[in-house]
Structure 1
Amino acid sequence: MTPAAQQTAHQTVQRRAHLRPPRPPQLAGVSAAALRSDLERSGWTVEGVEQLLGPVAEAALRRDSHVPALRAARAAGDGDPVGVLTRLFLLAQPVPRAALAAALPATGSDGAVAAGLVEAAGAAPDDAVRALVDLRPHAAVDALGEVAWWVASDLGEHALGDGQPLPPEHVLGIGGASASLARLAVRTPAQRVLDVGTGSGVQALHATRHARSVVATDTSARALGFAAFNAAVAGVELDLRRGSLLEPVAGERFDQVVSNPPFVVTPRAAGVPGWEYRDGGLVGDEVVRQLVTGLGGVLAPGGSAQLLGNWEHRAGEGWRDRVQGWLDESGLDGWVVQREVMDPAHYAETWIRDGGQRPGPEADALLEAWLDDFAARGVEAVGLGFVVLHAPPAESSARTRWTRVEEVTGPLERPLGEHVAAVLAARDRLAVTDDDALLAARLRVADDVTEERHARPGEGGPRAVLLRAGGGLGRVASVGTALAGLVGACDGELEVGQVVGALAVLLEVDAGALRAELLPQVRGLVEDGLLEWT
């Protein structure tokens, strides 16, 4: 970084140091049950906001254009709780104290002030109150079905105004990464679940739906404050601990770990700001490496972990080899899926904008620092995706580990947790199933699998046969004649060996050679969920 750029970046950090946000909301003296009841009765839900705004204003709001939404909310008037709460918390507009009191009758405007949700200009009914936090209804679908909460976090860039970048202590609300991890996480009933880097507590809230106890950690005391508030409003209990990565739970074991860690690759250079919600304070992709390689120390036998991450593509080192090395060091079964790849400039620009930095000299200085940092390590690109880890069951600890590192692009909007759980179970079973046992197995085609046959007009047979999974990662397997015939006969009644024997006679080939050819392919179809045990 040039001296001028370093000075510009340093001034940015100094200015942000003065943007200290207010304390996290607290429910001391305020009933969480009363606030939850108020929010439920108000109708201020995701659906309620959608109905208030209408499709045009809602679409504009998703583009970060607030004027259409504000017009719709104002039109509802001060007597409409959904309009009042939307103006106050979603659109960062002041509302009369009396209007807030009417929208939250059990909590009242005094209770909202005491909780740190708002501040008031005065005590009169017409005095304005403004939001101190971002509070919004949240609806999601995970492997257990639909869920609805209200989640508080720090005010966003729009609410701060004046083009101010986000302060370093900013606690993020529910973003795209949070939603992705919630869809990815396994929801099998568990005794203990750990959420590493909980932030405002979103993943921990999801985990309470299938776990007896949930421990949530974060380096940020401010984030833990928001997580405590959100848990109280949701009516659930969390064991909140402050510390870095796995340090707060050293020596403990968990059935599941979920993590949306601070994985952003950030330059460790003077004058470059860091945000606690995304910056782990380590060089490059070290945060993700340490988490992946350390999870073997906290996962109970048979336990699993699902986490998001970034990894560097370095010159002279294949990214698959790099990430495979992490899996090998972990000692666990592992599955890495790269979902997107960004070049260094695009990656840096994305995260500079994410921090609220507008285009100009300061943003240019930060971009230069990012590119210098990438160049120092020979980084040619950054991969984004997810990691699934699995500790072998105690009774099969001597089995061979399995790992898979792959790239899968395209939209994945449906919940993946059930698919991930099925893959882990299938691979556990395959790990202790030899070829003789597989030949004796009765398999069936998964319900979401369809077959496609492609041929040119007039040809007697297909040139290609594709098996396509409708769920999970949308796998597509190209199969030959023999494998297509085997899959077609997998109805749960016949053993695999019986089908192979019949195919050998039909195709006039050696049965032993056909078994050797098909069994590895059958294993692959079972791993991917296209075939399953009856």
Structure 2
Amino acid sequence: MIPEPDPALARSLADDLAAAGYTGARLRALWGVAADEAIGRGRALPARREAAATDSAVAILARLFFLGSPVRESEASAALTNVTIDGAERLGLVRMSSGSVTPSVMIRPQAYVDEHGAGEWWIASDIDESVRPGPLPEDHVLGVGGASLTLAGLQLPTSAARVLDLGSGCGIQSLRARRDSPDVTATDISEAALRFTRLNAQLNAVDGIRTLRGSLFDPVQGEVFDRIVSNPPFVITPRGADVPAYEYRDGGLTGDALVCHIVMGAGVHLVPGGIAQLLGNWEYVDGEDGLHRVRDWIAASPVPLDAWVIERDRMDPIAYAELWIRDGGTVPGTDEFETMLAAWLDDFEARGVREVGFGYILLRRRTEGSPALLRFERVEGAIGPNAALGMHLAESLRAHDRQARLSDAELAEAVLLVAGDVTEARHYLPGAEDPSVIELRQGGGFGRTLAVDPALAALVGASDGDLPVGRLIAAIAELLEVDPDALLSDLLPRVRGLLDDGFLTFAGGEASPSA
């Protein structure tokens, strides 16, 4: 475990990193595209070869803190002029031995883009499996992975007076939340994780992050927040001596009980209208649908909750077990791998688990008189890396709240606009005059594709902020020679869905969001 970080030494280290130009762009330029892609596949050797070819400060720091390689004492002294090798040792970042300096942690640049602009953090964590052989220790503190980047992108980019980062790990969610809130509380059961959270805040000159040690909501009993974010240890892990209990991913409970506890406990720690966002796994047990299982958790909350749950993936027990065994650094083909795989499959079989779902959970403490939101869906397919999902979620919540308050008569008087990222595709059979399929495609958000009929396609195409919905539908009914009242009744519910999903927006602005 790293020692308690010293703020003055952390600032000196930051000065060294900045002076060397220790950025993602500089590192990619140092070792090239092919080596950078190899790092993404867990192969650091090509980058090590390129970084060893130069003695620049950025190359020395890259070998030491990005690639986990020892460097000569003279090299480390040249690159760490402010913090010095002694200071880096006192921070717990390196070890000195026989003229060689060996890294104890990783420090990697992590770029971000949000509504406030673009930037980059330095994120320190334990050395991961990409640069160290063998299984990880159970108290390993993970750096920035795919799941943490996903949640950071999902965070609503709206101001919040107080934010709780539940299970902070290295602190990436706290750093992201701090950009929209002056007051962030980070909790974790791991003291090592909290020390990394504090170190990373100091490295990036970010204040306003309070750290508390404890399990789930125990450290914040009696407190309420405007926002809760959590990338919890949601991995479903069999209990027993044959499977390591990694603190960063294993909550110590059976099955998906940890995610259940967070969902059921979040509401009492939210102010009315407050939002909780988390990632999670949920089980498909025998004939039970996994999303129905999550719905039951939400219904059991002691305070009324709105919910938007999006399942992004489902895995069978074998693939799920293999994924997480490899994640811990255990290699297929070894006796340890086979033993762990058997333990996972025995656990799933004993409890009747047929599949495991993964996705995003957004909860909102319902306010009196507000329209209810209970949305459970499956969204498949790739989402572009630049998709501004946090803003999309915020805008979708605003749109839902606004349209849900309108009667059908009021919605018919509303003036709408087609969103700027929406395109239309028409598919024709050879020689056909009319299309067999009309699709609306969303360039942002979740990249949805919707098959629509000619009437709805015409309404979306005509929604240019000029005429109200009701008049447009009447004109389309006349053109199609159908009953206007019947068409209005058919299209208005679908218009509500298009507003919720961001295909259509209200013209003329709207009130400030409750979210």
TM value normalised by structure 2 = 0.93
* Amino acid of the structure 1 residue aligned with 2:194: L
CA distance in 1, matches of 2:446, 2:150: 13
Aligned-pair distance for 1:213? Answer: 1.0
1:309–1:387 CA contact under 8 A, matched in 2: yes
Give deviations 1:46-95, integer Å, cap 9, x for gaps: 11111110122222222222222111111012xx1111011112222211
1:119–1:132 CA contact under 8 A, matched in 2: yes
Aligned-pair distance for 1:261? Answer: 0.3
CA distance in 2, matches of 1:514, 1:63: 53
1:143–1:415 CA contact under 8 A, matched in 2: no
Comparing 333-342 with 135-144, which one deviates more in the overlay? 135-144
CA distance in 2, matches of 1:479, 1:390: 31
Residues 219, 27 of structure 1: CA spacing in aligned structure 2 closer, same or farther, 3 A cutoff? closer
1:507 maps to 480
Give the paired residue count: 501
1:198 maps to 168
Give deviations 1:244-285, integer Å, cap 9, x for gaps: 112222222222111110000011224432010000011100
Aligned-pair distance for 1:521? Answer: 0.8
CA distance in 1, matches of 2:434, 2:128: 60
Q: 1:132-143 counterparts in 2 under 5 A?
A: 132-143=104-115
Percent pairwise identity: 48
Give deviations 1:167-191, integer Å, cap 9, x for gaps: 1111001111111111111111221
Pair 1:41 & 2:19 matched: yes
Pair 1:82 & 2:52 matched: no
Aligned-pair distance for 1:400? Answer: 4.3
Q: 1:352-431 counterparts in 2 under 5 A?
A: 352-358=325-331, 359-392=333-366, 394=367, 397-412=368-383, 413=385, 414-431=387-404
Aligned-pair distance for 1:415? Answer: 3.0
Residues 49, 441 of structure 1: CA spacing in aligned structure 2 closer, same or farther, 3 A cutoff? same
Aligned-pair distance for 1:141? Answer: 2.9
1:143–1:186 CA contact under 8 A, matched in 2: no
CA distance in 2, matches of 1:373, 1:324: 24
CA distance in 2, matches of 1:27, 1:177: 26
Q: 1:492-531 counterparts in 2 under 5 A?
A: 492-531=465-504
1:11 maps to none
CA distance in 1, matches of 2:427, 2:127: 54
Give secondary structure in 2 for the equivalent of 1:140: strand
Q: 1:329-348 counterparts in 2 under 5 A?
A: 329-330=300-301, 331-348=304-321
1:143–1:416 CA contact under 8 A, matched in 2: no
Comparing 453-462 with 311-320, which one deviates more in the overlay? 453-462
Pair 1:117 & 2:80 matched: no
* Amino acid of the structure 2 residue aligned with 1:311: W
Moved over 6 A (4+): none
| Larger relative contact order, structure 1 or 2 (CA cutoff 8 Å, min sep 6) | 1
* Amino acid of the structure 2 residue aligned with 1:274: A
1:73 maps to 51
Give deviations 1:395-424, integer Å, cap 9, x for gaps: xx2244221222212222223111011111
- Listed as ranges, the gaps of 5+ residues in structure 2 are 508-515
2:285 maps to 314
1:19 maps to none
CA distance in 2, matches of 1:475, 1:25: 47
Aligned mate of 1:466, from 412, 428, 439: 439
1:25–1:226 CA contact under 8 A, matched in 2: no
Residues 301, 340 of structure 1: CA spacing in aligned structure 2 closer, same or farther, 3 A cutoff? same
2:154 maps to 184
1:477 maps to 450
1:101–1:107 CA contact under 8 A, matched in 2: no
Aligned-pair distance for 1:109? Answer: 1.4
1:232 maps to 202
Q: 1:51-62 counterparts in 2 under 5 A?
A: 51-62=29-40
Pair 1:442 & 2:415 matched: yes
2:388–2:444 CA contact under 8 A, matched in 1: no
Give secondary structure in 1 for the equivalent of 2:43: coil
Aligned mate of 2:2, from 14, 24, 36: 24
Comparing 245-254 with 370-379, which one deviates more in the overlay? 245-254
Give deviations 1:190-238, integer Å, cap 9, x for gaps: 2111111110101111111111111111111111011111111111121
* Amino acid of the structure 1 residue aligned with 2:234: F
Q: 1:286-297 counterparts in 2 under 5 A?
A: 286-297=257-268
2:242–2:339 CA contact under 8 A, matched in 1: no
2:184–2:210 CA contact under 8 A, matched in 1: yes
